[in-house]
């Protein structure tokens, strides 16, 4: 038997999780409140009992993502390459077990790019931008030969945009995950590492 508080918390989590999946797969505007309600098996009216608006629900997800995807900042690593490979390994391993981690990553990327999203929410997503930070790591690492030659910012941009493209596609291609046809970490690392012996 669940108490009312627990019940409420579970409901909220259910909505959050269904909404996340839908937002990622259909985008913010194409995800209708009705879609979420149906996915969570409840009336539209009830949705508004738990979240005051579609926008606020979306904002809550973005805030979760803002915390979650900040993780790598705190990771410590032996050499700068493992900063990147470690993050990718995590993402790929979660892709199978806990797709919501992957979904959150994709959600953030979409929010940063899409202009159809309420400005103040987009700001939050833009605050978490791996490109800038990684450019610094790449620049430093280039001196020791960890990374290939080239504009550090452009390298960082290429790497993260690629990761984003792959994750976005994976999010709507469950069969790739089931079949075990996930890209390998090294393939992507080679974008920034370049050709080594």
Q: Which does 169 bind (CB under 5 to 8 A by kind): DNA, a second copy, none?
A: a second copy
Instruction: Give CA–CA dist 162/10, Å, rounded.
Output: 35
Of 92, 73, 59, 90, whose CA–CA distance to 177 is shortest? 92
Q: Does 1 bind a second copy (CB under 8 A)?
A: no
Q: Which does 191 bind (CB under 5 to 8 A by kind): a second copy, DNA, none?
A: a second copy
Q: Which residues bind DNA (CB under 7 A)?
A: 3-4, 7-8, 11, 32-34, 42-46, 48-49, 52-55
Q: Which does 27 bind (CB under 5 to 8 A by kind): a second copy, DNA, none?
A: a second copy
- Total residues found in the chain within this entry: 197
Q: Which does 113 bind (CB under 5 to 8 A by kind): DNA, a second copy, none?
A: a second copy
Nearer to a second copy, 16 or 170 (CB): 170
Q: Which does 157 bind (CB under 5 to 8 A by kind): DNA, a second copy, none?
A: a second copy
- What are φ and ψ of residue 3, in 5° steps? -75, 170
State whether the Cα torsion 63-45-11-39 is positive or negative: negative
Nearer to DNA, 12 or 148 (CB): 12
Of 30, 141, 37, whose CA–CA distance to 84 is shortest? 141
Q: Considering the complex, what minimum distance in angstroms separates the CB of residue 26 from a second copy?
A: 5
Contacts of 64 (CB under 8 A, 6+ apart): 16, 104
Residue 43 vs residues 17, 20, 46, 53, 119: alpha-carbon distances, Å? 17, 18, 5, 14, 29
Which residues bind to a second copy, rule: CB under 8 A?
A: 25-27, 29-30, 113-116, 148, 150-151, 153-155, 157-158, 161-166, 168-170, 172, 176, 181-184, 186-188, 190-197
């Amino acid at each position: 038997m669940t108490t009312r508080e627990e019940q409420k918390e579970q409901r909220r989590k259910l909505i959050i999780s269904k909404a996340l999946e839908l937002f990622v797969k259909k985008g913010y505007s194409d995800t209708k409140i009705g879609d979420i309600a149906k996915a969570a098996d409840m009336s539209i009216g009830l949705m508004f009992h738990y979240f005051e608006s579609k926008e606020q629900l979306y904002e809550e997800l973005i805030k979760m993502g803002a915390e979650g995807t900040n993780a790598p900042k705190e990771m410590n690593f032996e050499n700068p390459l493992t900063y990147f490979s470690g993050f990718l390994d995590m993402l790929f391993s979660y892709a199978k077990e806990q797709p919501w981690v992957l979904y959150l990553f994709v959600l953030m990327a979409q929010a940063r790019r899409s202009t159809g999203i309420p400005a103040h929410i987009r700001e939050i997503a833009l605050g978490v931008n791996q490109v800038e930070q990684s450019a610094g790591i790449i620049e430093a690492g280039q001196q020791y030969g960890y990374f290939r030659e080239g504009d550090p910012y452009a390298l960082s941009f290429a790497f993260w945009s690629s990761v984003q493209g792959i994750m976005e596609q994976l999010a709507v291609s469950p069969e790739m995950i089931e079949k075990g046809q996930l890209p390998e970490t090294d393939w992507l690392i080679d974008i920034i590492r370049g050709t080594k012996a």
